Structure 1
């Protein structure tokens, strides 16, 4: 077996293993960032004031069930 071919195979295997580790780390960071973003969005939505519900008149007090 040629030494250059062996070195090439080892080099390729090492590069693939390194890429898999890098991909796993990137995915973990992405998931953490998405979790933080979702938490921030939920906090912002909870901070919004609740508008009062309509209690009189036809606007907002009736549901059109035939639409």
Structure 2
């Protein structure tokens, strides 16, 4: 194996490691963003009244 090949291999491995780190950070950022969006959607769901039957039934006998 030639010295230039070893240097090229080392550079290639460094670039691959950097690419993996960048991909991992982008994935973490995307997951954090999705978590924020999901939390916002869950928070926007209206709360049920204390008595879940209130407002859902029609009294036809009164």
TM-score between both structures, scaled by the size of structure 2: 0.76
> What count of residue pairs does the alignment treat as equivalent?
53
Equivalent-residue separation in structure 2 for 1:41 and 1:12 (angstroms): 43
Q: Deviating runs (4+, > 3 A) in structure 1?
A: 53-56
Deviations 1:7-47 (A, max 9, x none): 11011000000011111111110000000000000000000
Q: Give the equivalent residue in structure 2 for 1:63.
A: none
Gaps of 5+ in 1: 57-67
Gaps (5+ residues) in structure 2? 54-62
- TM normalised by structure 1 equals 0.71
RMSD of aligned C-alpha atoms? 1.8
Pair 1:40 & 2:37 matched: yes
